[in-house]
Chain A
């Protein structure tokens, strides 16, 4: 299986901060990397697909980028509704795998 390693696993930030979350794949996955946001008691919500494409309806403060097997989710100016857990997911392999999650908490 392709392993997806996220960092940090948790972070504290303030409203208005720029936040970056990293995800490293254990092998090349081309651009087959998606990002999801999950709030407590809710299903994950798709934010970014194919590394950098914004899902319809998602605010433009979210963006995604990549360098080789390293992928980054950036929130340009953290809003109160952005406090949540974020997961990366590779779809390069038919055996889909997710990262361990990154929890964004209020400082």
Chain B
């Protein structure tokens, strides 16, 4: 069973850089058929996809955050990381890492792409 665990940065000051790491266990981050994403959720609000790492294809980012986001990977530790620069109070949220399973149905009926495993989430508060 795949498990994901976010690190816990807690409090980050405005204008600083938020750094999070997701440790993956029960499977390799280099395995084919999987991407690795960051998703966030402000308190009482909906889900916002931040970006993903693909072992075969690099990174994709949400255009609304692209100028401030970097996702990187450390395959030796089976981890991937998020850096979000110049944070403000609007970046206060629960941050989740998630595995995105992608592929083709064997019956030829099409493709699939969904988030099947999630970390428990970590609350990041931006405040001075």
Contact = CB atoms under 8 A, between A and B. Distances in A.
A91 interface: yes
A101 B46 contact: yes
Prevailing SS type, chain B contact patch:
strand
Given A31-B110, A95-B62, A46 B115 contact: yes
A43 B48 contact: no
Given A96-B49, A99-B46, A89 B63 contact: no
Given A87-B46, A96-B49, A34 B114 contact: yes
A95 B47 contact: no
Interface residues of A, number: 26
B14 interface: no
A53 to B, nearest CB: 8
A30 interface: yes
A66 B105 CA distance: 18
A89 to B, nearest CB: 7
A1 B105 CA distance: 26
11 contacts: A31-B110, A42-B121, A45-B118, A50-B105, A50-B112, A87-B46, A95-B63, A96-B37, A98-B47, A100-B46, A101-B47
Interface of A: 1, 30-32, 34, 36, 42-46, 49-50, 53, 55, 87, 89, 91, 94-101
